[in-house]
């Protein structure tokens, strides 16, 4: 499976300009790419203004993602602000040209940035399959909580869609590798660059990590770009069979 990660300088709270910019970047991604991964709140930046920016399911941003997936014959995912039943969620949406749609609501809301005061916590860890790869989606701060993403022998690729500040870039890189190693899986982390509307600077450092913690591909720090990398399920299964760490893991029940 070929994965592309888009690392943009997100325009603050301007959906149409972000769609235009992302469209230009995506147009240069090679044909044959299976999944395109976008950062957290890719259409607005990490804004705490859900009252103005939230959308109902199936509206403007979904239609844009659906169009891109259809034109590129691929899956595309990233998070944005969704309103359901008068509540706001930071939701990662996955849309494919085969008409598959999956959604994940961010579980761990970033309390230092007051995200937990404005948004509702997600309640469900999800895993879905796309073109033979089992995918577990996370959003940004989720990366710090390994129990939530613990591999129960049920996924092959952990996707993290993030707005991770450059001041904590070493933590970002370390945790991406840790999640890959402990879960014997591929990890794809999509981050942004530039400075957002609150003055926070982002370095990007988007990358795809292999199950041994090896970097398969990574972006240049601070540069708007896309990267692509190939993940191979046969290689992953072979590694898991030869070094069966997951079977020795602890069982547990996840609380609320």
From 2, 25, 16, select the one nearest 193 (Cα to Cα).
Answer: 25
Residue in 77, 136, 140, 185 annotated catalytic? 140
Neighbouring CB atoms inside 10 A of 47's CB total 19
Pairing, β 2-7 against β 225-230? antiparallel
From 40, 43, 136, 44, select the one nearest 90 (Cα to Cα).
Answer: 40
d(CA 187, CA 181): 9
**Is 136 a residue of the active site?**
no
Residue in 21, 66, 106, 177 annotated catalytic? 106
C-alpha 93: how far from chain center? 9
**Is 17 a residue of the active site?**
no
**Is 140 a residue of the active site?**
yes
b or e along 121-156 (b: 16 or more beta carbons within 10 Å of the residue's beta carbon)? Answer: ebeebebbebeebbbbbbbbbbbeeeeebbbeeebb
In DSSP notation, 196-213 reads -TTS-EEE---EEE-TTS
Residues belonging to the active site: 40, 106, 140
């Amino acid at each position: 499976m070929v994965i592309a990660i888009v690392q943009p300088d997100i325009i603050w709270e301007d959906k149409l300009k972000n769609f235009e910019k992302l469209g230009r970047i995506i147009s240069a991604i090679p044909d044959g790419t299976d999944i395109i991964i976008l950062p957290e709140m890719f259409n607005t930046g990490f804004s705490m203004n859900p009252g103005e920016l939230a959308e109902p399911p199936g509206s403007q941003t979904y239609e844009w993602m659906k169009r891109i997936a259809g034109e590129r014959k691929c899956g595309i995912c990233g998070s944005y602000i969704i309103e359901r039943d008068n509540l706001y969620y930071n939701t990662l949406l996955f849309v494919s040209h085969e008409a598959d749609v999956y959604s994940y609501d961010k579980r761990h809301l970033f309390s230092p940035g007051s995200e937990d005061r404005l948004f509702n916590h997600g309640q469900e860890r999800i895993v879905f399959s796309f073109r033979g790869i089992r995918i577990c989606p996370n959003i940004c701060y989720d990366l710090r909580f390994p129990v939530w993403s613990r591999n129960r022998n049920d996924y092959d690729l952990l996707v993290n869609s993030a707005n991770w500040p450059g001041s904590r870039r070493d933590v970002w890189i370390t945790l991406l590798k840790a999640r890959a190693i402990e879960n014997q899986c591929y990890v794809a982390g999509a981050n942004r660059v530039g400075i957002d509307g609150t003055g926070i600077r982002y370095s990007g450092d988007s990358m795809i990590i292999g199950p041994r913690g090896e970097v398969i591909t990574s972006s240049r720090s601070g540069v708007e770009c896309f990267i692509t990398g190939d993940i191979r399920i046969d290689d992953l299964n072979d590694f898991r069979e030869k070094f069966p760490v997951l079977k020795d893991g602890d069982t547990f029940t996840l609380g609320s």
